Amino acid sequence: MHIDFEMLAQKYDTPLYVYDFDYIKNRYLELKEAFNGQKNIINYAVKANSNLSVISHLAGQGAGADCVSIGEVKRAVLAGVSKYKIIFSGVGKRDDEIREALNLDILLINLESEEEMKRVEAVASELGKIARISIRVNPNIDAKTHPYISTGLHDNKFGVEIDMAKRMYIYAKKSSFLNPVGIHFHIGSQITELEPISEACSIVADLAHTLKALEIDIKFFDVGGGIGVVYDEETTIDIQEYAEMIKNVTRKLDVTILCEPGKYMVANSGYFLTKVLYEKRNDQKRFVIVDGAMNDLIRPSLYNAYHKIEAVNKTGESSPADVVGPVCESGDFFGKNAPLPQLEHNDLLIVKSAGAYGFSMSSNYNTRNRSAEVAVQGSNDRLIRRRERFEDLIALERDYLEELSLKGE
């Protein structure tokens, strides 16, 4: 789709997140279609992009939600996700979060340790409820991705080992306050080969068979997220093959497949639009200094992640430049040696593939207002989050200023 970035910059100012909502819808439908023939729910991983309008757009297509805090659960509910399609995952949950999740009667609470199971049981008993649970199994598989986003090894804090999982299921089956109905794994993000996922899937399916033999009725088989997307020119998982593999491995189990894609759904829907402030050169380097920064999009700084950067409506011979922001950290960059034409004040750049873990990981570091977010759909564009103002940033602090005169009182 053609997006008129110049018009958007004029209308909404920069830095700006722009999401192609048609793309998101197509991705959802493509995945849904691939699972055709098997009961399934696509539980969008809200952490990838938590904007209410993004969640609501997906909910409108029928998507569920995978959440990792009660805040995300509440976003999903507010955005119109059916409560029976909401999963609450995460390696540590507070009692009040568990209580609220039980009161909201969501589909599943996903457990990551025996201790957590006991907490959920205690809270459910206090409330006189039966908690529907699943258990995250750590299959000890190397997802072959960046170590910071790899989660399926025993080196990682996530999930429990097979034997422990089995013991937990047996305990849960006997409990009056727990109903073990799901099994889950998630071995990492940006996985570009099918093999680690299919290995994990087989290991977890074997456990599900064992559990069924013990009359523990697993109804939901959750394959996590992690489907790799194209940031550069990488080849990644074919979605048809992915879904076929899952259907095959779970064929004899009679389960509903839950799938928790984040990046797959939104990464390439998003563009981070930023304005050139100026160029700067020294004897070694060409820097393009822009008005966006690591507080807006931290993936390059944090994971050395590659995002393609393009100049908007600007041609001419390219030469390598580091695209950097105004934050006072050397790690504040969007790209190193990006081929770009000569740029001037107010020229526009787009940082691509910014729809996942872009805004949702942004911060106010350096007292920078977080960007606005815009949805583009067909030929329409609309604001889905207004730009922050200085007043927003200090709102939670100013009442505590000791010198009242500074508060303007």
Nearer to ligand LLP, 154 or 398 (CB): 154
Residue 58 neighbours by CB distance under 10 Å: 28
Longest CA–CA separation in the chain, Å: 72
328 is catalytic: yes
Q: Is 224 in the site for ligand LLP (CB under 6 A)?
A: yes
Among the listed residues 49, 51, 69, 89, the single contact to ligand LLP using CB under 6 A = 89
Q: How far apart are CA 339 and CA 331, in angstroms?
A: 19
Type of residue numbered 241: E
Q: Is 299 in the site for ligand LLP (CB under 6 A)?
A: yes
Site map 188..207 versus ligand LLP, x via CB under 6 A? -xx-----------------
Q: Provide the 8-state DSSP code for 137.
A: B
Type of residue numbered 114: E
CB of 11 to ligand LLP, least distance (A): 28
CA 405 to chain centre: 43
Nearer to ligand LLP, 5 or 357 (CB): 357
Q: How far apart are CA 313 and CA 290, in angstroms?
A: 16
CB of 127 to ligand LLP, least distance (A): 25
Show the tokens assigned to 101: 């999740």
The answer to whether the beta carbons of residues 297 and 306 sit under 8 Å apart is: no
The answer to whether the beta carbons of residues 335 and 307 sit under 8 Å apart is: yes
Among the listed residues 9, 18, 48, 343, the single contact to ligand LLP using CB under 6 A = 48
Using CB under 6 A, which residues numbered 94 to 153 contact ligand LLP? 149
Among the listed residues 27, 263, 352, 368, the single contact to ligand LLP using CB under 6 A = 263
Rg (CA), the chain: 23
Site map 343..362 versus ligand LLP, x via CB under 6 A? -------------xx-----
CB of 281 to ligand LLP, least distance (A): 31
Region from 75-83, 170-178, 254-262, 314-322 binding ligand LLP, contact rule CB under 6 A: 254-262
Q: How far apart are CA 63 and CA 48, in angstroms?
A: 15
Q: How far apart are CA 303 and CA 312, in angstroms?
A: 26
Q: Is 262 in the site for ligand LLP (CB under 6 A)?
A: yes
CB of 226 to ligand LLP, least distance (A): 4
Region from 21-29, 165-173, 219-227, 343-351 binding ligand LLP, contact rule CB under 6 A: 219-227
Of 67, 201, 259, 328, which one is the catalytic site residue?
Answer: 328
Type of residue numbered 117: M
Beta strands 256-259 and 40-45: pairing type?
A: parallel
Show the tokens assigned to 147: 């170590």
Catalytic residues: 328
The residues of the shown chain that bind ligand LLP, judged by CB under 6 A, are: 45, 48, 66, 89, 149, 186, 189-190, 224-227, 260-264, 299, 303, 356-357
